[in-house]
Amino acid sequence: MINRNDIKAVTKSIVLGGCFVFINGFGTILGQTSTPSDSAVIRSIYDEVLTNGEAYENLRVLTKTIGHRLSGSPEADQAMEWGAELLRNYGADHVYVMPVVVPSWTRGDIANASVEMSSGEKFDLHITALGGSIETPDNAPISAEIIVVKHLSDLDTMPKRKTKGKIVLFNRAMDPVLINTGSAYGGANDQRGQGAIYASKAGAIGALVRSLTHSLDTLPHTGAMYYSEDVTQIPAAAISTVDARKLAKLYKTDPGLQVTFQMNCEALPDVEQGNVIGEWTGSEFPNEIITVGGHLDSWDIGEGAHDDGAGIVHTIEVLRTLKAIGYKPRRTIRFVLFINEENGNRGGIKYAEIAASELAKDEHVYVAAMESDAGGFSPRGFSMDATDTLVDIVKSWKPLFEQYNIHRFKKGWSGVDIGPLKQLERRPLLIGLVPDGQRYFDFHHSTSDVFENVHKRELELGAATMASMIMLIDKYIPAP
């Protein structure tokens, strides 16, 4: 399996990499740069995943037999059982659920919207409730003139008589010139998260939000929205980009544009579910923890295939693959299927709370946490939220990944679920897988986030890249 090119690549890595030596909490030298055998191990990881990979079939089962799985739903319960069983089957030493109380919300079976022009002409909109929205009063339609704005702050400068009793459409598009589509999403999602708050403060009776996607199509994309305690709750929904563009255009010539929409979504009582955890005990430093995970919950339309079925099967495939090649971890690797990333992050918060208390009692040290929550596309590299020292160690491994077309090793965002670990007193390396992001928001939070839109080899390459990085982290990253 190993050829001369591998050896060459590693030799280069050693020359380029310099030498990082650290003394970890247990007096052991860690953190030296990689060795030629690391290159061979990485090759065997990619070979194993690309030849015998089970991530794609696991994703098929998750998406096609369970389907979408919003926190609090029976499907989320089923997914927890499915995940625990897989972790057991693949040989995790200890599989358990860390209980988390999660919100519960149901979309109901009514969501429709239409527009009437001053001329009397009417057409329907493609609409879906935003997650967390209240129903329209008495589940009946509401109608009002529409106000189209681009920014939350646009409402501050409008006289309240202009907005009172209206329905506000937030119509800011994701910026197409940003190469990082996640940045374009981040630059537009205040409309979805806080649109209802701003619209309610302006006296509006409802909020519509342009779907967060680059794609010009008729698919509405859901996602979390929130109310603040100081506002009257008003219903909020997403409409497709084609509809939003059409409405914004009509609005310029027909300010009397009337919108009607109706939804019967509903908040339900909180439910106890949890993070599903599989542990593989470390042979040398069992109380040093490396976390790798994605989130098990998804939005309640589509199948949550890229978001974040991909991250879940990536995580499980790291376990399967490292076992298959006979790897023996030095630290304990924890495979975590987080709950409730989509509408609360209570799983990630609970995990970090427990980590902090264990750390305070010297029970565990959290060395690193890796997340996959950006889809199952061709991997491009990693984004790290960590000290410069740790980032530099990871960057020194770049030559090992060159032949796998993994080039991106940068500081930046790691992941929602592992984010709260940043607050730990002894701060772990937080690292997120970065897949190619150009197609992600076509599917994200919509009915098209289905298994058929995930590519087998792209998914597998992500898993192999993660497993390789986990192996290097296990061997070389010093405990904080």
Least separation in angstroms between residue 437's CB and its own copies is 9
Nearer to its own copies, 47 or 154 (CB): 47
Distance of closest approach, residue 305 Cβ to its own copies, in angstroms = 16
303 among known catalytic residues: no
- Minimum distance between the CB of residue 20 and its own copies, rounded to whole angstroms? 23
Question: Any bridge partners for residue 168, and if so which?
Answer: 147, 207
184 or 431: CB nearest its own copies: 184
Which residues does 37 contact at the CB level (< 8 Å), separation at least 6? none
The DSSP symbol for 452 reads G
Return d(Cα 159, Cα 161) in angstroms, integer. Answer: 5
Taking the C-alpha atoms of residue 351 and residue 251, their distance in angstroms, rounded to an integer, is 47
Is 254 exposed, middle or buried, given 0-12, 13-18 or 19+ CB atoms closer than 10 A?
Answer: middle
Beta strands in 310-437 (DSSP E): 331-338, 365-371, 379-385, 408-411, 429-435
- Burial class for 357, CB neighbours closer than 10 Å (0-12, 13-18, 19+): exposed
- End-to-end CA distance of the chain, in Å? 36
> Which residues lie near its own copies (CB under 8 A)?
46-47, 50-51, 176-177, 179, 181, 214-215, 378, 380, 403-405, 407-408, 436, 438-439, 442, 455-458, 461
Q: How far apart are CA 131 and CA 152, in angstroms?
A: 19
Q: How far is the CB of 324 from its own copies (least distance, A)?
A: 14
Q: Work out how close the CB of 457 gets to its own copies at its nearest, in angstroms, rounded to a whole number.
A: 5
Q: Name the active-site residue from 279, 317, 341, 458.
A: 341
Which residue has tokens 């079976």? 109
User: CA angle 382-193-206, nearest 5°?
Assistant: 155
DSSP assigned state of 224: B
> Rg of the Cα trace of the chain?
24
Between residues 10 and 477, which has the closer beta carbon with respect to its own copies?
A: 10
* Cβ atoms within 10 Å of 299's Cβ, excluding its own: 25
Nearer to its own copies, 152 or 174 (CB): 174
Cα 466 to Cα 312: distance, rounded to the nearest angstrom: 12
131 versus 399: smaller Cβ distance to its own copies? 399
Choice between 194 and 448, CB closer to its own copies:
448
Give per-residue burial for 10-28: e unless 16+ CB within 10 Å, then b. beebbeebeebebebbeee
Report d(CA 472, CA 382) in Å as an integer: 13
What's the rounded Cα separation, in Å, for the pair 83 and 298?
14
Least CB distance to its own copies at residue 408 (A): 7
Q: Which tokens in the block code for residue 90?
A: 């693949």
Residue whose CB is less far from its own copies, 50 or 117? 50
Least separation in angstroms between residue 33's CB and its own copies is 21
The catalytic residue positions are 341
